[in-house]
Amino acid sequence: MWKWNRRRELTARLWGTADPPAAERQTGKLPGKTPEIPGRCVGLHSYLSNRYADMVVLTFSQLEDLLGFALPDSARTRHEWWTSTDRDVDQSSCADAWILAGRTAKPNLQARTVAFERPIESLRDSRSLA
């Protein structure tokens, strides 16, 4: 199933051209802002930034496995915990993990899942670089 990816990597090595690394595709980098990912959320950031798919859907239990701790109650009940970019709203938020990975979070609280998507602008930028 993943033979196409191996061929793509081999071709990229032979020709010396490849898609830009995930770090270059990140849209969360702002001039003058140093990327700071809370140490406890690094696992989620690395997982999301290393996924080739434009959308990654994870259950709350999968997120807890990646993070290594239980999600706070506000993450299970408040949509704003996932969508707010204001750091003062909730200090326990790991929003920087997906923002710096170039993704937005769209929670489905009833299904206990979160969809992490790359914004359309990010997709256009990464495709124009190829």
**pLDDT tens-digit map of 21-43:** 444 444 444 444 445 666 788 88
Which of 62 and 13 is assigned the larger pLDDT? Answer: 62
* Helix (H/G/I), strand (E/B), else coil: 87: coil
Give backbone dihedrals phi and psi of 92, rounded to 5 degrees, phi first: -85, 0
Alpha helices in 16-108 (DSSP H): 22-25, 42-49, 60-67, 73-77, 80-83, 95-99
Residues in the chain: 130
pLDDT of residue 7: 61
Tell me: pLDDT of 12 over 70.
Answer: no
d(CA 69, CA 46): 16
What digits encode the pLDDT tens for the residues 70-123? Answer: 999 999 999 999 987 665 444 556 888 898 889 999 999 999 999 999 987 655
